[in-house]
Structure 1
């Protein structure tokens, strides 16, 4: 039954992906074939936010096209989440497993992170139920439990945030004084799997400290009358209002959250009884820590501390978008609430109202979909595949094997292309062409400016902001992209450059001065 639920949810959510093309939404960028470069595993001038994720995508695209990699990855998120949560709940009835599966896979957290394109983080979301199950097996000293633990952790460690969530989960759930060797082995496995991004973080020239302006920019936000805490309690509250499903503004959404929380309180007692001693309490501690991390940037007192930390402590910038860390909370909520429904349904049935018990279970199954209907059909059509214009292949072919930096203009991190329906997406050029591409990593959230960490990009940005020509920056190639709502690049900035290719959506220029170097 769990497989059927997983496949049904996957088909409902990803229905638009039956069409050809690529879904481009904020940080979710896939291209036909992502070239391999050393920077994918050891970025020299930026923090390893996509290590080893981009390297894995590049290797996969050597064997299969990027559109297939994208569909497999997104389907894996949904299938892992639904089946994993259903298997994890220690239930006596199959309907309880179904309630847990839907309660974990059909959430505001998954919808909002899908819209913002954090599919790598969502792999950790899908992997967490399997990781918790493997950690329980390690505690029980079952055969080959460490092997299952490593396998369950693999999808989670493709991003630093997912890797930290996985590491913290294993360390908290497995640790026992009576089993030091087994605890050390389990934590050691997770540290080893996190090594790619940890090593890259140690080698990069980028400053590990962050702009404190990112704290209010990335703080969790209210979505309805229940405020920030109410949004987080329902697993929502992402900082970007453009990636929040419309249904989250409904006045009924907090009431549904209250029902789920009440069921979870009832079911937590059952969870403690059916799991090994202490495991449920430890998972609750993880959930509480994740919830606290999500509130840090939103509460006045903790926000001030977080602003100091991100500016002074290398790596603390991971906490700016604290809502990411709600994953253990979302899992505990789904599992405990499912057991709560089971317990309440049993009480109703014991009083002779068998039909009432069935209605209760049916309502619990449907509740996630009823309160979040706009997750279906690609987030109500917002996740729809498009095709890259032919200009992209033409420019990529002309840059293939040609040395020199490539500057992407207009100078900014995100784009809104007419051929992508005007939807915002991270500039695909660095992934599309086999060259080093300079983009502005400064991030604007409304009127808030969050400085990036790439020093070379900042240097180029100063030249352009001062009205200087691109030729003065020393880059060899310039790609000017046509975007929705953005006029042409200032001709003065392109003075002295030679047109190599001119298409409807892209124009490629060369800086003749660099050819003599």
Structure 2
């Protein structure tokens, strides 16, 4: 039943991906074959936000095409989340497991992170139920529990945030038996899974301190009359309004959240009885900590502390977008809600079988009714497209030819006509086998959040003076056709030699740059 439900949820959400092409949505950018470079493992001028994620995608795309890699990981997210939550809940009734499965797989958190393209983080979301299940086996003395726990943490550790969530979950949840040897081994192994990005962070030349303006820019955002904290309580509240489903603005959304939380509190009492050793309380503590991190940017006093931290403490910038850390909270709510529904169904069943069935059926469809626009690729917003032929042509001309590539207009994100004007991260750094310079400055509405790449900052200063691109020292320049009136001043291109001219991309070489 769980496997069938998982397939149904996956097909319902990812239906548009039955068409060929690539879904490009904010940070979710896949290309046909992502070239392998050392920068994917140890980025020299940027923070390791995509370590080891990009390296793994590059390796996978050497074996299978990028469009297939994208579909496999998105299917894995939905299937693992659905089945994992269903197996985790200590249910007496099989439908209770289905309620937990849908309650965890069909959430504002998943919808918003899917739209913003954080599929790596969603792997951590999908793996957490399996990690908790492994902890339960570990507490019961299962011989294979420790390898299963590490295996569950592997998908989470493909991004720094996911790795931290898995590490925190291991530290908080694992038992302290046999003089702490089991717990120490579990923590040590999960910490080892985080080593790739930790080592990369130690070796990069980028400043690990970040712009304090990013705290306000990335703080949780109100989606309806319940405010930012109400949005977080419903597992929503992402900072980017463009990646929020329209249904989240409904005045009834907070009412549904209140109902779910009330039933979840009822179910938590059952959970604490069925999980031995205080595991439910440990998960609740983990969830509370995640919720606090999510709310830091909007809580008076604490937001100022967070601003000081990100500007002073290297690596503290990972806390700016705190809504990411709602993963344990979302899991606790889903499991508690399912058990609360089970109790209500049992009470209704004493009055008649129809009453129990109605309670279970209503709880099963409630997440879909409240968030209908997650279906069919977030109401059609996740539609595959094909890269224009210019991309292959430019990639072929740059293959095997050294030198930095400057992507213009100078910015991190693009809105392409062939992508329906939808915003996406510039695919060029992943598409071509070269070091591509893009502006890592982020704009959140009118707010500018400075980047950390010193080379990008140097190029930005040169271009800001009105000097031509030749003064930056880059060898190649790719000018892209984008939506929104972003045009490259012809004076910027003075002194460049045109190598390729297409409808969507134009490639220039700087004769003044060395090979």
TM over 0.5: yes
Distance between the aligned counterparts of 2:384 and 2:177, measured in 1? 52
CA distances 1:259-296 after superposition (whole Å, capped 9, x unpaired)? 11011110001101111221000000000000000000
Distance between the aligned counterparts of 1:289 and 1:105, measured in 2? 22
Distance between the aligned counterparts of 2:92 and 2:319, measured in 1? 38
Q: Which residue does the alignment assign to 1:279?
A: 279
Distance between the aligned counterparts of 1:388 and 1:210, measured in 2? 34
Distance between the aligned counterparts of 1:135 and 1:186, measured in 2? 10
- Once the two structures are superposed, the pairs formed by residues 9-408 of structure 1 within 5 Å of their partners are 9-176=9-176, 178-350=178-350, 352-408=351-407
Q: Which deviates further from its counterpart, 468-477 or 136-145?
A: 136-145
Deviation of the 1:513 alpha carbon: 1.0
The answer for unaligned runs of 5 or more in structure 1 is none
Deviation of the 1:179 alpha carbon: 4.1
1:438 aligned onto 2:437: yes
- For the 8 Å contact 2:174–2:183, the answer to whether it is kept is yes
Distance between the aligned counterparts of 1:65 and 1:158, measured in 2? 20
> Number of aligned pairs?
515
Structure 1 runs (4+) deviating above 4 angstroms are none
Distance between the aligned counterparts of 2:484 and 2:308, measured in 1? 37
Distance between the aligned counterparts of 1:173 and 1:435, measured in 2? 44
- For the 8 Å contact 2:416–2:481, the answer to whether it is kept is yes
Distance between the aligned counterparts of 2:313 and 2:445, measured in 1? 26
- For the 8 Å contact 2:46–2:206, the answer to whether it is kept is yes
Distance between the aligned counterparts of 2:135 and 2:208, measured in 1? 31
> TM-score, normalising length from structure 1?
0.99
CA distances 1:326-371 after superposition (whole Å, capped 9, x unpaired)? 0000000000110000011101112x22211110110000100000
Deviation of the 1:488 alpha carbon: 3.0
- For the 8 Å contact 2:138–2:175, the answer to whether it is kept is no
Q: Which residue does the alignment assign to 2:5?
A: 5
Distance between the aligned counterparts of 1:512 and 1:342, measured in 2? 72
Deviation of the 1:143 alpha carbon: 1.1
CA distances 1:198-219 after superposition (whole Å, capped 9, x unpaired)? 1111111111111000000000
CA distances 1:234-266 after superposition (whole Å, capped 9, x unpaired)? 000000000000000001111110111011110
Distance between the aligned counterparts of 2:159 and 2:485, measured in 1? 33
> TM-score, normalising length from structure 2?
0.99
Structure 2 counterpart SS, 1:513: coil
- For the 8 Å contact 2:406–2:476, the answer to whether it is kept is yes
Distance between the aligned counterparts of 2:259 and 2:273, measured in 1? 22
Q: Which residue does the alignment assign to 1:453?
A: 452
Structure 2 counterpart SS, 1:422: coil
Structure 1 counterpart SS, 2:500: strand
Deviation of the 1:392 alpha carbon: 0.1
CA distances 1:95-132 after superposition (whole Å, capped 9, x unpaired)? 00000000000000000000000000000000000001
